[in-house]
Chain A
Amino acid sequence: MSDSGKSFKIALLGNPNSGKSTVFNQLTGLRQKTGNFPGVTVDIKEGRLRFPSGLEARLIDLPGTYSLYPTSSDEKIVTAVLTNPADPFYPDALVYIADVTHLDKHMLLFTQLLDLGLPLLLALNMSDSAAEQGIKVNTARLVAQFRIPVISISGRTGENIQKLLHELEKLIRNEPDAAAGSEMVFYPLREQEKQVVDAVRHNLPIDNAYCALLLAHHHGWLPFLKKQERETLSAIVETKDFQSLRAQVDETLDRYDRFTPIVRKTIQQPFVSGGTTTDHIDAVLTHRLFGPLIFFGVMLMVFMAIFFGYDTTGGWVENATGILVDAVGNNMADNWLSSLLVKGVLPGLQGVLVFVPQIALLFLLISILEEVGYMARAVFIFDKTMRRFGMNGRSIVALIGGGACAVPAIMGTRTISNWKERLITVMVTPFISCSARIPVYLVLIPVALPLSTWWTKALIFGGMYFFGLGAALGAAYVFKKILRTSDPSFLALELPEYRMPHWKNVWLTVWEKVKAFVAGAGKIIFMISIALWILGNSGPDGALDNAESRIRAEMSDSLTPEELNDRVAAKRLEASYAGIIGKSIEPAIRPLGYDWKIGIALLSSFAAREVFNGTMYTIYSLESVGAKEEEEASNQRPFERYGRLRQQMTDDRFENGDRVYTLATGISLLVFYALAMQCMSTLAVVRRETGNWKWPIFQFLFMSGLAYFFAWLVYTLLPKV
C-alpha cells in the first residue's frame, strides 16, 4: 500500500448499539456527507479523516450489523461491500467498534472481519461506562491474541480518539507490526466448507478463503455478481450439497466457542446484583398499561411542539423574506427580472425555508428519543399492532417521522428485513400528515368553517392527523391482504440501555436531515415556484395583453388604481397558460366542488403540496397584500392568519352565482390534501428505495384516486353552505 496520490478508504464497522456513529461523529464532525451506494441505491455516510501528519483518508460508516450473514437490506450492504474488491467503497482498512461492556456479544462480527484478511483495528468503545461499572480490560492480551492494534476509547467523552487516529495512520502506512494480523485465520473451515471454498477459488478470481465462502453463502442476492458467476456459484453449492443456513449457524456457534474463553480472560467484571437503572425505567415505559399511555403522551407533546413551533418560527421566515421582497421591489426597475425574483424566486425560497424550523424541531425530538433508546421500546410495544396492519414494529419509527417529512422517514425503513412489511410501510407513510400540510390546513379550516370557535378549528386540525393515520392503517390493511412474500419477518431487536443523549450526535442528525430536505425537496419546491411563475406570466400570442387592455377599458372608472392593478393581474393569470390548463381540467374537478383556480393550485401542488398557499395568493391577485399579510401572520393566532386571502376565497363565486367555498368544498379540499400524493420528492425516494418506477407510480395513482373518491364523497354528502 502506498500513499502516493490515492485516497485511503477506511470502513467503520460494529454491531448496532456499539456506539459506532458516535465515534464516526467524533472522528469527522461536520466533514461528512451521505453518498449513494450504487446498485442497491442506499445511502452510506462518508467523512473525511485528517491524520496528525496531514495525511487524509475517507472514513466510511457502514450500517451496524451483528454478522456477515445479513437479514435486512442495510445489513446486506456490509457484506456486499466487503466481498467485492471492485466496489467503490471497498476499504483499505477496517476499524471495528465493540462495546467493551458487552464484549462477549460483540466479537462475532469482529472475528469474521479478521478472517477477511484486511488490515484491522479493534476499538473497545465505552471505556467511560466500563470504568463506572468497574470493568477491567486487558488489552495487551487481545493484542497478543489477534496480533492487531487494540485501543480503549470512548466516543462519548472523546477519550483516546487521537490515539485511535495515530494507530490508524500506522495501520494504513503498513508499518511492520501493524498488519501482521492479516495473515491469521480465526475460524478453521470444516471439510465441506473447504471443498466449497476450493471450488469457488478455482472458478472465480478470489484469494481470501473466507470471502470465497461468503460468496457461496450469498450468491443468491449479492448485487455485483454477473449472471455467469452466479450460476457457477449456484452449481458449486448444489454439487457439494452445501446447506447454507445450517452452515451459518454452525460457524457462528464455533466462533463463539473460540472467542468466549478469550473474552473471559480479557475482561474482569464485578458481579452486579439487583436491577439497573434501565430495568427500573423499563418497568414503567414498557409496562402493560403505562407503556402505551406514555407513548401517546410523548407523541402528543411532540406534535404540539411542532404545531406551536410552526406558529412562531414560520412568522420569522416570512418576515425575513418579506424584507427581501421589499428590498428587491424598492431597488430594482419594474421589469421581468424583478417580477421573477419577487413573485417566483423569493416565494419559492420562502416555501422551502418555512419548513426548515419544523423539520429541524421534529428531527431534534425524534433523534433525542432515538438517542436515549426510547424508539426501540416503541417498536417493541407496537410490533403486534403494526403486524395486524401488515407492517413491522419498526414501521412505527417511519410513521412518526412521516409527521415531519415522508422522505427521510421512508429512507429509515431499511431496517425492516421483510420486503412486504417494508413496502407497505413505504406505501402508507405519505398518508401521515407531514409538516407541508400544516399551512394548507391553516388556510382551509377557517374557510370551511368560518363561524366556528377557535377550539373547534383546533380540534379539526388535530382530527386531520388522525384522519391521515387512519388512512395509513386502512391502506396498510388492504395491502396486507393483497401482497404475498416468502421473506422471513423478524422483530428480534436489541433494547439498548438508556443513556443521556449525546448532543453532538443529535445536532449532526438534525443538520443532516435539514440539509437533505433543502437539497432534495427544497430544490423541487423552488423549481416549481419558478415554473409556475413562467406559466402564469406567459400565454398564447398577445392573450395576456388583450385581457389587460380589456379590463382596463371596462373598469378603469369604477376602481381605485390599486384594485384595478389586482384585477388586471387576475385577468392576466386567467388568460395565461396556467389559466388555460386550470380551465381545461375544471370539468374533472367540478364534481369535487372545485373551480379552475383551485385546479391551478392542485396542479402545482402535485409537485409539492406546500405550494398551495403561494399559488392561491397569486391567483387571487393578492401579491400586493400577500407579503404584508404574511408579515403580520407572526402576530396572529393560527386560525386568524391569511385574512385577506380567506376573505377573497370566501367571496368567490361560480359563474352561476353560487359560492365556491362552502362547507362542502372546504372539507372536500381538506380531505383531498390529506390523502393525495402531492410530493415529487417522496415519489423520487420511493423509486430509489423500491428499485423501480412501478411502486411510486402505483402509489401516486392509488393515493390520488383515494383522495379524489373521498373528496367527491364528502362534497356530495355535505351541505353546500
Chain B
Amino acid sequence: MQRRYRTIADLKQHESALAIAVTDPALAGKLTAMGVLPGTLIELVRPAPFGNAFYIKVDGIRLALREEEAACILLEL
C-alpha cells in the first residue's frame, strides 16, 4: 500500500517539504515547543556524519534531530 506521507529520512539533501503532523505524543510536546509545527516547511540540510541524526531547518531555525525524532514528523508527499 502506498504511504500518504513522507518523513525527513525520505528527503534528499536540501529538499524541503511541508509538515502535516507530529505523531508520537511524548516527542510531539518537545518538537512543537521548539517550533516544529504542522504547516511549517522543513528542509533537510544534511544527515549527521556518522548517521542516525539529521540537521534540519524549520523557518530559519536550525535543529539536530535523531532518526526516531525525525520519524514522527509526517511530511506532505
Contact = CB atoms under 8 A, between A and B. Distances in A.
Given A104-B59, A105-B59, A249 B53 contact: no
A494 B33 CA distance: 12
A384 B69 contact: no
A606 interface: no
Nearest to B28: A249
A478 interface: no
A383 B48 CA distance: 9
Given A71-B30, A105-B35, A492-B31, A385 B61 contact: no
Interface residues of A, number: 43
B64 A379 contact: yes
A380 B34 contact: no
B63 A102 contact: no
B37 A387 contact: no
Interface in B37-74: 37-38, 45-53, 55, 59-66, 69
Contact of A380 (B25, B27, B35, B53): B53
A108 B33 contact: yes
A286 B32 contact: no
Interface stretch (A124-132, A287-295, A594-602): A287-295
A289 B45 CA distance: 16
B64 A249 contact: no
A381 B37 contact: no
A585 interface: no
A492 B32 contact: no
A249 B29 contact: yes
A488 B53 contact: no
Interface string A387-402: 1000001000000000
A278 interface: yes
A643 B11 CA distance: 63
- Scoring B27, B32, B63, B69 by chain A CB atoms within 10 A of each residue's CB, the highest score goes to B32
B52 to A, nearest CB: 4
Contacts of A289: 49
Contacts of A248: 29
Indicate the size class of the contact surface on chain B. 20 to 34
B48 A376 contact: no
B26 interface: yes
A277 B16 CA distance: 20
B60 A380 contact: no
A381 B64 CA distance: 9
Contacts of A488: 26-27
A381 B50 CA distance: 7
A290 B35 CA distance: 29
A380 B45 CA distance: 13
A492 B64 CA distance: 6
A246 B32 CA distance: 12
Given A105-B35, A288-B49, A384-B48, A252 B29 contact: yes
A490 interface: yes
Nearest to A288: B49
A252 B56 CA distance: 21
- Scoring A69, A279, A384 by chain B CB atoms within 10 A of each residue's CB, the highest score goes to A384
Contacts of A387: 52
A71 B59 CA distance: 23
Contact of A492 (B30, B52, B55, B60): B30
A497 B61 CA distance: 9
A488 B29 CA distance: 12
A393 B69 CA distance: 14
B48 A380 contact: yes
Contact of B69 (A105, A491, A497): A491
Given A492-B63, A495-B64, A287 B30 contact: no
B74 to A, nearest CB: 14
B29 A69 contact: yes
Contact of A384 (B22, B37, B50, B63): B50
Contacts of B32: 249, 252-253, 256
Interface string A245-280: 110110011001000000000000000000000110
Contact of B37 (A67, A245, A253, A282): A253
Contacts of A379: 64
Contacts of B22: 249
B27 A381 contact: no
A195 B49 CA distance: 49
Interface string A223-255: 000000000000000000000011011001100
A414 B53 CA distance: 22
A495 B27 CA distance: 18
A376 B27 contact: no
Nearest to B26: A488
B45 to A, nearest CB: 7
Given A289-B49, A383-B52, A67 B33 contact: yes
A493 interface: yes
A296 to B, nearest CB: 12
B61 A286 contact: no
Contacts of A71: 29-30
Contacts of A186: none
A494 B53 contact: no
A494 B61 contact: yes
A249 B25 contact: yes
Interface string A471-492: 0000000000000000010111
B19 to A, nearest CB: 12
Contacts of A66: 30, 33-34
A492 B53 contact: no
Contacts of B38: 253
Contacts of B63: 492-495
A387 B37 CA distance: 27
Nearest to B61: A105
Interface string A90-121: 00000000000010110010000000000000
A535 B30 CA distance: 56
A488 B27 CA distance: 8
Nearest to A245: B25
Contacts of A382: 50
5 contacts: A66-B30, A253-B37, A289-B49, A382-B50, A384-B52
Given A245-B29, A249-B28, A387-B52, 10 more contacts: A67-B33, A71-B30, A105-B34, A248-B29, A252-B29, A287-B46, A292-B49, A383-B53, A384-B53, A494-B34
Interface of A: 66-67, 69, 71, 102, 104-105, 108, 245-246, 248-249, 252-253, 256, 278-279, 282, 286-289, 291-292, 376, 379-385, 387, 393, 488, 490-497
Interface of B: 22, 25-35, 37-38, 45-53, 55, 59-66, 69
The 10 closest A-B pairs by CB, nearest first: A384-B52, A380-B64, A67-B33, A66-B33, A245-B25, A495-B62, A105-B35, A491-B66, A384-B50, A493-B64
